[in-house]
Structure 1
Amino acid sequence: MAEKKTRKELLKEPDEFISFSSRVIRHARENPKNYAMAAVLAVLIVLGVLAWFAYRNHQEVASHEMFEKAYQGYEEIAYQDSVSPEKLDKVLDQLDQVAKDYSSLSAGEMALLYSGHVLYKKHDYKGALERYSRMQNTNLVKSGLGPLVLYHMAMTRMALKEYDQALLLFDELSKDNNSPYRREAYSSTAKLYELMGKNKEAVQAYRQYLKMFPEAPDATFVKTKIMDLSAKG
């Protein structure tokens, strides 16, 4: 059994913290230059971090201001049936500039997405697909915009008449229960089969659509489609 130390003996033992502090102070007195350099370095590091955060914040503000300006131009042409090529090019240039200057920020990624929309409106489907494909590696997609980008990629493949690739993308969307584009995916799958001249597959796809979405606003139209395609065989 270990011998119990008396209170008097314990008080005589040196306090480790005080001893360590004393050694540090003594070492600092003996090596003032080293400690001064360390202090300066620590201050520089703190200042560097603060400067980086300030710069990053400035970049965020500037990028959002530029994107808002470009987006206003996009809103003006988005729902117009007829837009001059010059106006489309102007909006595209603005979005491209934001996407280029702030590619690592959310505003730059949003600009990249909307530049794809403008190219789609210009009927430059290959250009639009290239932009949407680049979106796959962005933080916005990782944060939840994946289904949106996938949907636009599928629609662009459809416009390019790359039906097989479009079917694969719509199939992926239809299997995602949380996707807001699930109904559109089922509907577009049926339309694709129809465009491909595969009436039997189209009928089956339309029936599946009604099964999944019996209260769909276009249910009556789809039922008529099924009747017409079934008659064609």
Structure 2
Amino acid sequence: MTRAKKIIKKRLKEPDEFITLTERAFLFVTHHTKSIAVGAGIVLVLLLSIFFFQKWEMKNEGSAYQMLNLVMESYQMVSSPYREGSPQEYKNVLEGLNEVITKFPGTSSGKLAILYKGNAYLRLGEFDEAIKAYEVYLEKAGKERLYRSFAMEGLGYSYEGKKNYEKAMHAYQRVLDLGESFQLANAHLGLGRCYEKMGKTKEALEHYKSFIKISQKSQMANIVLRKISSLEK
């Protein structure tokens, strides 16, 4: 009986582990209340900053989209297949595109405006400016394959305009490597033109025939077939 009482007393004297941890936590909070409050405040500020930044970004994207749409209405009018715009009209479009690029540089519409800027310069025959715009777009654009292929094709046309066929071929080959099916026929056609102008008939024929395989029902098919017939004579 005496031994049992001693064991109970001994157990009572031993510290309860849960109570000890709770006390330690309470003491820690008590001694570090100010630091914890500051830390919580910093987290709250960060969360609010992220929230307001996302709201601002969404609003910015919307404004950029609206502005680009207005400019694109003018762009489509001057680049219509039924009516070629005057140099002044293209310059007016370029002013609008530059405004979108300057005001909304980080938005998707701001980046897309750079691509159309290249197209406008290409239409004006200002090939160096077109090349600069296309290269900037390719640096800033994301992984959107179709738009990237448009920029690469634009580079090809621009270098062709400068009679730099090696660089033009490199641009068209990049389109093929990208593998965007919508653009493959045009890339083969561009490569065929460049090889033909460089006097490489065999390679030109290969790409012209590849164009026909992919796009035999296109408006260009008859012209390319006549070209093939002429080169094979």
TM-score, normalised on structure 1? 0.79
Partner of 1:66: 67
Q: Which whole-Å CA distance do the structure 2 matches of 1:124 and 1:167 have between them?
A: 19
Relative to 1, partners in 2 of residues 1:195 and 1:81: Cα closer, same or farther, differing over 3 Å? farther
Contact 1:67 1:95 in 2 (8 A): yes
User: Percent identity between the aligned chains?
Assistant: 20
Q: Which whole-Å CA distance do the structure 2 matches of 1:222 and 1:86 have between them?
A: 34
Relative to 1, partners in 2 of residues 1:19 and 1:55: Cα closer, same or farther, differing over 3 Å? farther
Partner of 1:6: none
> Alpha-carbon deviations, 1:68-124, whole Å to 9, x = none?
222222122121543233322221011112112222221110111111111111111
Q: Which whole-Å CA distance do the structure 2 matches of 1:186 and 1:52 have between them?
A: 45
In the alignment, structure 1 segments of 5+ residues that lack a partner are 1-8
Q: Which whole-Å CA distance do the structure 2 matches of 1:150 and 1:128 have between them?
A: 11
Relative to 1, partners in 2 of residues 1:28 and 1:116: Cα closer, same or farther, differing over 3 Å? same
> Alpha-carbon deviations, 1:160-204, whole Å to 9, x = none?
211111122223333454442111111222222333344454334
Relative to 1, partners in 2 of residues 1:41 and 1:87: Cα closer, same or farther, differing over 3 Å? same
Alignment of 1:16-165 (within 5 A): 16=18, 19-79=20-80, 81-140=83-142, 142-144=143-145, 145-165=147-167
Count of residues in Structure 1 that have an aligned counterpart in Structure 2: 218
Q: Which whole-Å CA distance do the structure 2 matches of 1:110 and 1:202 have between them?
A: 33
Contact 1:147 1:179 in 2 (8 A): no
Relative to 1, partners in 2 of residues 1:63 and 1:216: Cα closer, same or farther, differing over 3 Å? same
> Alpha-carbon deviations, 1:47-85, whole Å to 9, x = none?
222222222222222222222222222122121543233
Contact 2:77 2:85 in 1 (8 A): no
Relative to 1, partners in 2 of residues 1:76 and 1:25: Cα closer, same or farther, differing over 3 Å? farther
Relative to 1, partners in 2 of residues 1:61 and 1:206: Cα closer, same or farther, differing over 3 Å? closer
Q: CA deviation at 1:21?
A: 4.5
Counterpart code for 1:68: N
Structure 1 runs (4+) greater than 6 angstroms displaced? none
Relative to 1, partners in 2 of residues 1:186 and 1:82: Cα closer, same or farther, differing over 3 Å? closer
In the alignment, structure 2 segments of 5+ residues that lack a partner are 1-10
Q: Which whole-Å CA distance do the structure 2 matches of 1:222 and 1:84 have between them?
A: 30
Counterpart code for 2:43: A
Q: Which whole-Å CA distance do the structure 2 matches of 1:31 and 1:73 have between them?
A: 64
Relative to 1, partners in 2 of residues 1:152 and 1:41: Cα closer, same or farther, differing over 3 Å? same
Contact 1:176 1:182 in 2 (8 A): no
Partner residue of 1:222 out of 208, 221, 224? 224
Q: CA deviation at 1:219?
A: 4.2
Relative to 1, partners in 2 of residues 1:24 and 1:64: Cα closer, same or farther, differing over 3 Å? farther
Counterpart code for 2:50: V
